[in-house]
């Protein structure tokens, strides 16, 4: 069957069309992205404005057209932290339903962590044994670990690259005092996670997902996306430590000129690098593999699982 998956994140609205069948890996057919930066359009009360919801609905209607033209028979739509945390989220959902007919599923942070873990586990298999998965999104950081398909440990914490950049950075290039304050905040937040996570035991395989990690690996020398999903991409702690001060000295424009860094992500990359560096340091990770599957694939796989159970 041809399945459309619509992902409404903090930065982008991403439509992924795949050919999905029970017992087989989803095969991408079409991918369309729209830069929305929803988290940047919250008003002083923490609500999404009517104009933003109108723009979002217009984008979603375009996605529906793409899915219809692609011959999709199923349509799954979900939203993450930007809509989940909006003070008027229920109103936003009703407006989207009225304007587009789309009934959005708003995922919790724990849902994000668990579904991403499922996708990574299915991609790498049981040979990964005790698996640790990290994902830096625009609004939150998800960490999950365990030996099965359902993680033994999962957490979502508000350490997203976009959120932190907006909260801590007021200058471009970033002022050293602001960078120091961010580093202190991130490490204090992660310090509360280290103890509970350590009870799972040392991981046999560490995998990072998300655009932030992919961009950091790319500037550190990993293969570009054009070489496909089966090329091994590794981010080494030593390489990240060398790049972090370089990124701190650059303006957003200079960062956007780096390989694998878009204009949208350039303003957030430094904050994401601070989070990634803290994760690798506090969790004692020397290197991590960049995984090609993440939340969207997890949504597809879980849907197929439910389909099989109902067959």
Q: What digits encode the pLDDT tens for the residues 69-90?
A: 999 999 999 999 999 999 999 9
CA dist 161 and 156 (Å) reads 13
Q: How far, in Å, are 158, 199, 218, 275 from residue 187 at the CA level?
A: 13, 19, 24, 8
Q: What is the pTM of this model?
A: 0.95
Helix (H, G, I), strand (E, B) or coil at 200: coil
Determine what percent of the chain is predicted with pLDDT higher than 70: 99
CA dist 114 and 214 (Å) reads 20
- The mean pLDDT of 210-216, rounded to a whole number, is 95
CA dist 176 and 228 (Å) reads 38
CA dist 298 and 114 (Å) reads 8
pLDDT tier, 39 (very low <50, low <70, confident <90, very high otherwise): confident
pLDDT tier, 309 (very low <50, low <70, confident <90, very high otherwise): confident
Least confident of 59-73, 237-251, 297-311: 297-311
Judge whether residue 311 has pLDDT over 60: no
pLDDT tier, 40 (very low <50, low <70, confident <90, very high otherwise): confident
| pLDDT for residue 105 | 95
Determine what percent of the chain is predicted with pLDDT higher than 90: 90
Q: Side by side, which strands form the sheet with 205-209? A: 153-157, 141-146, 131-136, 205-209, 287-290, 234-236
Contact 94, 86 (CB under 8 A): no
| pLDDT for residue 196 | 95
pLDDT tier, 308 (very low <50, low <70, confident <90, very high otherwise): confident
Judge whether residue 158 has pLDDT over 80: yes
Domains of the chain and CATH, by start: 2-106 (3.30.420.40), 109-295 (3.30.420.150)
| pLDDT for residue 52 | 94
């Amino acid at each position: 069957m041809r399945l459309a998956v619509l992902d409404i994140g903090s930065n982008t609205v991403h439509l992924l069309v795949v050919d999905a069948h029970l017992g087989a890996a989803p095969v991408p057919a079409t991918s369309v992205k729209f830069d929305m930066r929803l988290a940047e359009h919250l008003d002083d009360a923490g609500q999404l404005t009517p104009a933003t919801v109108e723009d979002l609905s217009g984008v979603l209607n375009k996605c529906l057209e793409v899915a219809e033209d692609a011959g999709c028979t199923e349509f799954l739509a979900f939203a993450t932290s930007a809509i989940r945390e909006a003070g008027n989220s229920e109103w936003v959902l009703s407006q989207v339903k009225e304007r587009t007919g789309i009934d959005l599923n708003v995922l919790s942070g724990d849902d994000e962590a668990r579904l991403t873990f499922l996708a990574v586990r299915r991609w790498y298999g049981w040979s990964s044994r005790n698996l640790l998965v990290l994902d830096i999104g625009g609004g939150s950081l998800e960490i999950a670990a365990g030996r099965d398909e359902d993680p033994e440990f999962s957490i979502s914490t508000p350490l997203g690259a976009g959120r932190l950049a907006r909260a801590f950075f007021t200058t471009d290039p970033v002022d050293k005092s602001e960078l120091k304050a961010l580093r202190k905040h991130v490490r204090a937040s992660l310090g509360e996670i280290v103890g509970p996570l350590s009870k799972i035991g040392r991981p046999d395989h560490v995998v990072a997902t998300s655009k932030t990690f992919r961009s950091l690996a790319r500037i550190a020398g990993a293969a570009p996306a054009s070489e496909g999903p089966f090329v091994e991409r590794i981010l080494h702690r030593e390489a990240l430590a060398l790049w972090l001060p370089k990124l701190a000295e650059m303006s957003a424009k200079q960062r956007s000129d780096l390989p694998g860094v878009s204009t949208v992500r350039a303003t957030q990359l430094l904050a994401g690098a601070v989070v990634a560096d803290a994760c690798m340091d506090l969790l004692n990770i020397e290197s991590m593999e960049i995984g090609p599957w993440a939340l969207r694939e997890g949504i597809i796989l879980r849907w197929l699982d439910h389909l099989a159970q109902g067959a």
